[in-house]
Amino acid sequence: MRLLSIDPSLRGTGFAILEELGTHIRCLEYGVIKNPPQISVPDSLLAIHNRLLVVISQHQPTVIVLESVIYVQSYSTAIVLGAARGIVLLIAAQHGLPIHEYPPRRVKQAVVGYGGALKNQVAFMVRALLELRETPPSDAADAMAIGLTHLRTPSVPLTKKRKSEKTNSWKNFIETKTQADSATGRRIPL
What are the catalytic residues? 7, 67, 139
Residues 119-154, buried b or exposed e (16+ Cβ, 10 A)?
eebbbbbbbebbebeeebbbbbbbbbbbbbbbeeee
Q: Beta-carbon neighbour count of residue 9 at 10 Å?
A: 22
CB atoms within 10 A of CB 40: 10
Rounded to whole angstroms, how far apart are CA atoms 21 and 2?
9
